[in-house]
Structure 1
Amino acid sequence: MSKTILYARVSTADQTLDHQRTQAEAAGFVIDEVVADHGVSGVSTTLQERPEGKRLYDKLRHGDTLVVRWVDRLGRNYQDVTDTIRHFMRQGVVVKTVINGLTFDGATQDPMQEAVRDALIAFMAATAQAQAEATKEAQKAGIAAAREDSTKYRGKKPSYTRETLGIVVDMLGQGAGTTEISKATGLTRQTVLRIRQNPVAADIALIRWGT
């Protein structure tokens, strides 16, 4: 019997596991099992190097579906992501994303469909790597600046938590509107707008307050 497995990577700056599962179920997925890595960097480790990620290679079988929030969960860079998706497709596993509802299926025999699918995989993987690298550099710079200013004026304490910030950023990535996000998180529209305009600054504000 085929299974639908959600793989999640949860770090201190990311959304919670419960939210990722809820988000997947809200997108219409019926999750049979969740495999999750906690506190593991997605920029410096491959899927096979993560304690739980490597279990997927033994656990997934032909006909199963692997669900991930986004393709960046499957590797640390362009090559990792494309290799991982293609490996699972060769095993008869269908890979689906919660964001944008993408499906990568190796079953198609039509050369045109294969070309479109492979081009999409390449584009999404390259985008994921570029975003990860940009975020990492911005956060490194922000953390350094925050530490330098730790004894100086920290500004007003943020009205959001790290978990709430993750939810806001995630919903923004899906194209959710300010009012919708405000209702979902309990934050004011002005706060959501500030986070949308500069999510790195929002993260730095939390660092300055030691959260």
Structure 2
Amino acid sequence: MATFLYARVSTTEQTLDHQRTQAEAAGFTFDHVIADHGVSGVAVKMKDRPEGKRLFDMLRSGDTLVVRWIDRLGRNYEDVTDTIRDFMRRGVTVRTVINGMVFDGQATDPMSAAVRDALIGFMAAMGQSQAEATKEAQRAGIAAAKAKQGEDAGTAYKGRKPSYTAENVATVADMAGKGMGVAEIARTTGLSRQTVYRIKDDPAAAQAALAAWA
């Protein structure tokens, strides 16, 4: 029986080292560490990722798969739920670093299985909805900035140049959606607390500021 860490590193603010350090701080040790870099969790299914495919090939009954959070498996509801159910059918236990969730195929009565499956579905749906909300905020911010620039014929005062990136905005929205506090988000992203508050309170305005300086 082996323990695997799977990490999906999709933005410049995310790193394999950070995800591994968090897991080790939570008490996990690993026989294998597998990571996909620069891969969308929305557009690319787990089995279609280079390292995701290898993970499917390596996992055996009795193994444990550790992920920072369910969204590291992906941000597509159907793909994530199918993936976890596939792993459970194989006898693999899936565990999360955040909140210490455990998903396995050990439920012996329908009610326990239903509660487990409902939780998996909720978490997978939340991951997809957060990704969609972030993209919508980006589109709205860019559209607002372009409209403003058009009105002022390029003479509008753009304000202070943002100290953050589009990836920062997505990461803050993602972490805030998981219920993480401003201090922890600031430590993870390297942003000031004031900047995190500003992005968290109005992501569309944050994207608009970026678009104005693009």
Compute the displacement of 1:71 (Å).
1.9
User: 1:3-23 CA deviation, whole Å, 9 max, x = no partner?
Assistant: 221212212365222222222
Is the 1:15–1:166 contact (alpha carbons within 8 Å) kept by the matching residues of 2?
no
Determine if the alignment matches structure 1 residue 155 to structure 2 residue 159.
yes
Give the secondary-structure state (helix, strand or coil) at the position aligned to 2:95: strand
Root-mean-square deviation (CA, aligned residues, Å) is: 3.1
Name the aligned partner's letter for residue 72 of structure 1. Answer: D
Instruction: Provide the secondary structure at the position in 2 that maps to 1:54.
Output: helix
Q: 1:134 to 1:183 in 2, by over 3 A?
A: closer
- TM-superposed CA distance for 1:35, in Å, is 1.3
After superposition, give the CA deviation of every residue in 1:90-137 in whole Å (9 maximum; x if it has no partner): 111111122322111112223321121111112222222222222223
**Pairwise CA distance, 1:165:** 5.9
Partner residue of 1:125?
Answer: 124
CA distance in 2, matches of 1:168, 1:132: 12
Where do 5+ consecutive residues of structure 1 fail to align? none
Distance 1:86 1:181, change over 3 A: closer
The one-letter code of the counterpart of 2:80 is V
Q: Distance in 2 between matches of 1:16 and 1:146?
A: 31
SS at match of 1:52: helix
Within 5 Å, which residues of 2 pair with 1:34-73? Answer: 34-73=33-72
> In the TM superposition, what is the alpha-carbon distance from 1:160 to its structure 2 partner?
4.3
Q: Per the alignment, in what secondary structure is the counterpart of residue 83 of structure 1?
A: helix
Q: Percent identity?
A: 67
1:209 positional shift:
5.1
Residue deviations 1:154-187 (CA, integer Å, cap 9, x gap): 4323334677667655653454433455566664
Which structure 2 segments of 5+ residues have no match?
none
Partner of residue 107, structure 1: 106
Taking structure 1 as the reference length, what is the TM-score of the superposition? 0.79
